[in-house]
C-alpha cells in the first residue's frame, strides 16, 4: 500500500482492495475526509487508467502556465532563443516584475 500526502490531500493506492478500504475507514473515523473516487488529477498531474497501467500527463498544467504567461498562442520553436545572439556584460536589462519571473521558475521546477 502507498499513501501519498500533500498538505490536506491524500492518495491511497495498493493491490489489496480490502486493506485499502480498512485504512480509508480508519482515516474517516480519525479525521473528516471525503472520498473523491478514482484519482483523475493531483498536484498538476492528470491520471488516466488503461489495461497496461496508469498514464501520467501534465498537459493541463503546461497549458495553465502558458496561459498565465500570455503564451497560449505561441508557436513551438526548435531553439528557445534567438539564433546567433551575442550576450555581453555591458547591457543589463532589469525585469519589470521579478516576482512573476520567480513564480514561473518555481512552477517549472
Q: What pLDDT shows up at residue 9?
A: 86
Q: Which residues of the chain have pLDDT under 50?
A: none
Burial of 53 (0-12, 13-18, 19+ CB in 10 A): exposed
The three cell numbers locating residue 4: 501519498
Q: Give me the pLDDT at residue 19, please.
A: 94
Residue 86 burial (CB count, 10 A): 5
Q: Is 97 left (phi over 0), alpha (psi -120 to 50) or beta?
A: beta
Residues 6+ apart with CB under 8 A from 71: none
Q: What is the pTM of this model?
A: 0.58
Structure-derived torsion over alpha carbons of residues 41, 52, 15, 21, reported in degrees to the nearest 10? 40
What pLDDT shows up at residue 91? 65
pLDDT of residue 83: 80
For residue 89, what pLDDT is reported?
75
Q: Where are the domains of the chain?
A: 1-37, 59-108
Size of the chain, expressed as the number of residues it contains: 109
* pLDDT confidence of residue 46: 92
Amino acid at each position: 500500500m502507498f499513501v501519498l500526502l500533500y498538505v490536506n490531500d491524500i492518495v491511497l493506492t495498493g493491490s489489496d482492495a480490502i486493506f485499502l478500504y480498512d485504512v480509508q475507514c480508519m482515516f474517516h473515523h480519525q479525521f473528516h475526509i471525503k472520498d473523491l473516487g478514482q484519482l483523475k488529477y493531483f498536484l498538476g498531474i492528470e491520471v488516466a487508467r488503461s489495461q497496461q497501467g496508469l498514464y501520467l500527463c501534465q498537459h493541463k498544467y503546461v497549458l495553465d502556465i502558458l496561459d498565465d504567461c500570455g503564451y497560449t498562442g505561441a508557436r513551438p520553436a526548435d531553439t528557445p532563443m534567438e539564433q546567433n545572439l551575442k550576450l555581453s556584460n555591458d547591457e543589463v536589462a532589469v525585469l519589470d516584475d521579478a516576482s512573476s519571473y520567480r513564480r514561473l521558475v518555481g512552477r517549472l521546477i
